[in-house]
Amino acid sequence: MKILVCISHVPDTTSKINFTDNNTRFDANGVQFIIGPYDDYALARAVELKETSGATVTVLNVGPADTEPTLRKALAIGADDAVRINAEPTDSFFVARQIAEHAKAVGYDLILMGRESIDYNGGAVHGIVGELLGIPSVSPVMKLDIEGNKAKLAREIEGGKEYLEVNLPFVAGCQEPIAEWKIPNMRGIMSARTKPLKVVEPVSVDSGIKLKQFELPPPKGAVKMIPADNVQELVSLLKNEAKVL
């Protein structure tokens, strides 16, 4: 079984977000980058499937050269080889087209992604890739088991979950608790250095999205503290000042 895991390279979840160039560029200054947290779950499940059923795992990122440490980390976690499509990942459609192009050429049995990236938050790449390849897409997937040519999944819905069955190949957008995040061990880190990382040039795509400007939310006003023995005061503020009751 050939598994493709698509990972985004995103600011660490504790990062403060800033922009430069008149709010048209992300300010990467001092920002630590990680594998997207949902993508990390997808990768962890793929590596488990590799261990239990002898699958091969390819990780892919659409991004410029500075995402390579993130791909190496995925190799250290247990992926067998990596592909970087050498382009700025501007939006979901652009990224999805690049992934679909690669997947069509190679032919994977299973394509795992995160439910969403935590920078662009599109929640869309898996669906678009599924559509472009003409195969099913399921998201957000919280459980995934493979039995022969068939997969059994659980998908989170508002207030509950659904259990599904689908034949391979398909695309899944993953989230916890599909697997536990894996931390690379020393052997993984050593072997990651020599695992293949292929750089592929992008196809040209009109994604239909043009960035105009970034914006930060307005700063939050100061908190109003209320003494613990006066909850009535809180209730009246919520009612009359905030008008939310």
Partner 1 sequence: MKILVFVECADGNVKKNSLEAVAFAHTMGGPVTALALGSAAQVELEALGKYGATKVLHAADARLNQGIIQAYASVIAKAFQDEGSDVLVLADSSLGTPVAARVAARVDASLASNVVELPNMSAGFVVKRSIYTGKAFARVELTKPKKVIGIKKNAAEVKEVGSNCPVTPYPVTLADADFATAITSSEKATGEVLLPEANIVVSGGRGMKGPEHWGMLEELAKTLHAATGCSKPVSDMGWRPHHEHVGQTGVKVAPQLYIAVGISGAIQHLAGVNSSKCIVVINKDPEAPFFKAADYGIVGDAFDILPKLNDAIKAAR
Ligand X SMILES: Nc1ncnc2c1ncn2[C@@H]1O[C@H](COP(=O)(O)O)[C@@H](O)[C@H]1O
Ligand Y SMILES: Cc1cc2nc3c(=O)[nH]c(=O)nc-3n(C[C@H](O)[C@H](O)[C@H](O)COP(=O)(O)OP(=O)(O)OC[C@H]3O[C@@H](n4cnc5c(N)ncnc54)[C@H](O)[C@@H]3O)c2cc1C
Omega cis (within 30) before 140: yes
- Out of 25, 104, 161, 193, the residue judged to bind partner 1 by CB under 8 A: 161
- Out of 29, 194, 204, 232, the residue judged to bind partner 1 by CB under 8 A: 232
Segment interacting with partner 1 (CB under 8 A) among 50-58, 75-83, 185-193, 208-216: 208-216
User: Of the two residues 47 and 113, which places its CB atom closer to ligand X in the complex?
Assistant: 113
**CA dist., res. 161 & res. 163, Å (int):** 7
CA–CA distances in Å: residue 38 to residues 62, 93, 147, 172, 209: 16, 19, 23, 11, 24
**CA dist., res. 178 & res. 197, Å (int):** 26
Closest CA to 65 of 177, 199, 207: 199
Residues that bind ligand Y (CB under 6 A): 13, 37
Cβ neighbours, 10 Å, residue 13: 10
Is position 42 an interface residue for partner 1 (rule: CB under 8 A)? no
Residues that bind ligand X (CB under 6 A): 6-8, 36, 38-39, 60-63, 89, 92, 95, 113-114, 116-117, 120-126
User: Of the two residues 114 and 169, which places its CB atom closer to ligand Y in the complex?
Assistant: 114
**CA dist., res. 188 & res. 100, Å (int):** 28
Is position 235 an interface residue for partner 1 (rule: CB under 8 A)? yes
User: Of the two residues 61 and 151, which places its CB atom closer to ligand X in the complex?
Assistant: 61
**CA dist., res. 140 & res. 161, Å (int):** 10
Residues, the chain: 245
User: Of the two residues 120 and 214, which places its CB atom closer to ligand X in the complex?
Assistant: 120
The residue type found at 96 is A
We find the least distance from the C-beta atom of residue 62 to ligand X, in angstroms, to be 4
Q: How many CA atoms lie within 13 A of 210 on its CB side?
A: 2
We find the least distance from the C-beta atom of residue 182 to ligand X, in angstroms, to be 16
| Binding residues for partner 1 restricted to 75-134, rule: CB under 8 A | 91-93, 96, 118-128, 130-132, 134
User: Of the two residues 89 and 188, which places its CB atom closer to ligand X in the complex?
Assistant: 89
Is position 209 an interface residue for partner 1 (rule: CB under 8 A)? yes
Is position 137 an interface residue for partner 1 (rule: CB under 8 A)? yes
